[in-house]
Chain A
């Protein structure tokens, strides 16, 4: 395992700049989650680290040494691709054995058998080992491709939305499993996801990319509680942060254009009266859709609330986030 750094990385494609001046340190043994809207440059970041693409500027080091001139094989990273990652002409077992049989590793056959059995057990694919890779469901394929990374013991794991096509139960099982593997192996992971729970529960650090720039990097709680701008604030939190005109409530600081309200920033029973427009009972929580002076606000309330459509509820902000007109956080 090793520390990985990106310094001033820029990557351009013919028409667009996928990454511009990104600097990032992935500490040894950390679990770094990359968040960002589609097209932000997440996959590009992974590909540059893996050595599949070359940055136009900047340097990448793994374990202290620059890897720019190394081939992907020499970099000793494992990657779970966003798509197309199983070799379709091989069985599941052959897919899992493939990295172990590489000229770099040359693992003895008995060890291959043992490792495959171990990984198959963890990922619940033991009964599918002799299936052709094409004869699997989407979720099974995804698990096998995670497996193909896990059979190795690389310097760094790169995972591009590895849990995206799994059902909720399997997803939460694998979250726990990945977290366990991370702790047990002391592995370093760089993990791309759109899923807030994955980011909050697994990450030691979260990096938020937006249009090719790394806008914030830090522990997940810091990203959540202390976002540097409106885009970052919008990436985490369910329901999403409510972005409203700052003058809707009294007390906005000078220069504030937008007030950002998460559910925990909204006090019920005091302040201005809002109309209830929808009540969504989700079981463990209840989502309340409110309308205040023509603006929609989504917040949470008691699961057993008596509030109903058309009721009136007074709300007031508590320790809200304020943003300037350009989206930058000012308070």
Chain B
């Protein structure tokens, strides 16, 4: 065995690369860790100065996130007797009782419906359009592709006013369908361009073989092209979901009582005497989970994208 190789890294190189990657990961993950930690702090720990790195964890933020509470007189409190649940106990410290669930659950569900709905629609329409652009003779193909891209040449919020008026006229304001349509429209151009790149890479011979093997064009697309485009579809879906999930400006503008998503809702959580930072942080933490899970679930496809090679017969 020779100790020198063109492709394999030496131990020193590996060590250096490892250190750099870990250092970079730590720096980027710091804000995230801080948010997660803040979710478990008490309101006073959360705003303490200098900031507290060690603290006594409490679930107060989470309780406040999911409930609404009312202050009651000490007499009433006494009449109620001992708190029966752990969250009652937390609330009683502040002379309060739980009045009911907060709207966070609804808002979170709205985010899930709108985020995943528009992601599905963007990827679905994007894949069909990209396939057509990639494989068929479309009149004015290049102009159409440029037009599709041009919808992203300004920040979407620049057209906020026309969209606001349009939504109001069409009755789409504050509806799930309206938000799904809007996010799909914004994401579609990205989806078409990304997916066209991936589909261009798949040799036509595979579909042609399927056509000769007795399948229709749609079946060939479904059974041969789609599985091979899985990598591209997965990464496109992640991009689309991240945009729709995190979108704030349109959500503030177009939604309120009915279809409001989590991003405009979380910062409005008010606690005793001002912003309830632990509850906000708890909301942000829970809000991160779906995108994280989605990305981890699709990671297999993302990684496979690197090693996936075309096959010569």
Contact = CB atoms under 8 A, between A and B. Distances in A.
B313 A81 contact: yes
Interface in B183-235: 203, 205-206, 208-216, 219, 224, 227-228
Given A52-B208, A81-B205, A103-B219, A86 B311 contact: yes
B171 interface: no
A142 B313 contact: yes
A72 B212 contact: yes
B313 A145 contact: yes
A80 B212 CA distance: 10
Contacts of A68: none
Contact of B312 (A77, A84, A98): A84
Contact of A134 (B205, B206, B214, B311): B311
Contacts of B227: 89
A185 interface: no
Contact of A87 (B211, B224, B308, B309): B224
Nearest to A98: B213
A12 B214 CA distance: 27
B212 A83 contact: no
B212 A73 contact: yes
A50 B212 contact: yes
B310 interface: yes
Contacts of B224: 87
Given A141-B313, A145-B313, A85 B209 contact: yes
Contact of A103 (B205, B214, B309, B313): B214
Contacts of A50: 208, 212
B211 A73 contact: yes
A88 B311 contact: yes
Interface string A73-113: 10001111111111111000000001100111100000000
B205 A148 contact: no
Interface string A227-247: 000000000000000000000
A133 interface: yes
A87 B209 contact: yes
Contact of B214 (A73, A82, A86): A73
B213 A99 contact: yes
B311 A52 contact: no
A84 B210 contact: no
A177 B311 CA distance: 25
A7 interface: no
A73 B216 contact: yes
B214 A83 contact: no
Contact of B206 (A87, A102, A138): A87
Contacts of B311: 84, 86, 88, 133-134, 141
A85 B216 contact: no
Contact of A79 (B206, B212, B228, B312): B212
A190 to B, nearest CB: 13
A111 to B, nearest CB: 15
A138 B211 CA distance: 23
A84 B312 CA distance: 4
B197 to A, nearest CB: 18
B215 to A, nearest CB: 5
A85 B228 contact: no
B313 A85 contact: yes
Interface in A31-74: 50-52, 71-73
Contacts of A51: 211-212
Contact of B212 (A78, A88, A103): A78
A88 B310 contact: yes
Nearest to A88: B311
A71 B309 contact: no
Interface string B224-256: 100110000000000000000000000000000
A128 to B, nearest CB: 14
A104 B214 contact: yes
B313 A88 contact: no
A81 B208 CA distance: 10
Contacts of B308: 88
A165 B311 CA distance: 14
Interface in B18-74: none
Contacts of A79: 209, 212
B204 to A, nearest CB: 9
Contact of B216 (A71, A83, A134, A144): A71
B173 to A, nearest CB: 44
A288 B245 CA distance: 77
Contacts of B211: 51-52, 71-73
Contacts of A87: 206, 209-210, 224
* 4 closest cross-chain pairs (CB), A and B: A102-B214, A104-B214, A99-B213, A84-B205
Given A83-B205, A84-B311, A87-B206, 15 more contacts: A50-B212, A51-B212, A52-B212, A72-B211, A73-B214, A81-B208, A81-B313, A85-B205, A87-B210, A87-B224, A102-B214, A138-B313, A142-B313, A144-B313, A145-B313
18 contacts: A50-B212, A51-B212, A52-B208, A71-B216, A73-B212, A73-B213, A78-B213, A79-B212, A83-B205, A85-B209, A87-B209, A87-B210, A88-B206, A88-B309, A89-B228, A98-B213, A99-B214, A102-B213
Interface of B: 203, 205-206, 208-216, 219, 224, 227-228, 308-313
